[in-house]
Amino acid sequence: EVVLTQSPAFQSVTPKEKVTITCRASQSIANSLHWFQQKPDQSPKLLIKYASQSFSGVPSRFSGSGSGTDFTLTINSLETEDAATYYCHQSSSLPYTFGQGTKLEIK
């Protein structure tokens, strides 16, 4: 199965900062990489699909890039409401898998 490795696992950031989270796949997955946000005690929500396509209603400060094995989620001008855990997810080959998550703390 495809293993997704996220970094960092935890990051403490201040509002208005730019944040970059990376996700590396154990084999090429083309652009079949998606990003989810999960806030405490909530269900996850889709942010970015197919590496760089924004999901409907997601603020423009969220963007994604990458292909093959290396992917990035960027949050420009972080807001306090962005405190959450972020997960990458691949749908290139079964079984689908998630990264281990990146927890963002807002200082």
Kindly tell me the burial class for residue 61, based on how many C-beta atoms sit within 10 Å of its own C-beta (0-12, 13-18, 19 or more). Answer: middle
67 binds other proteins, rule: CB under 8 A: no
**55 alpha carbon, distance to own chain's centre:** 12
Segment interacting with other proteins (CB under 8 A) among 22-30, 31-39, 60-68, 75-83: 31-39
Segment interacting with other proteins (CB under 8 A) among 13-21, 39-47, 64-72, 74-82: 39-47
How many residues contact other proteins, by CB under 8 A?
Answer: 24
58 binds other proteins, rule: CB under 8 A: no
Q: Cβ contacts of residue 4 below 8 Å, gap of 6+?
A: 23, 24, 25, 26, 88, 89, 90, 97, 98, 99, 100
User: Quick one: which of 23, 36, 62, 66 contacts other proteins (CB under 8 A)?
Assistant: 36
19 binds other proteins, rule: CB under 8 A: no
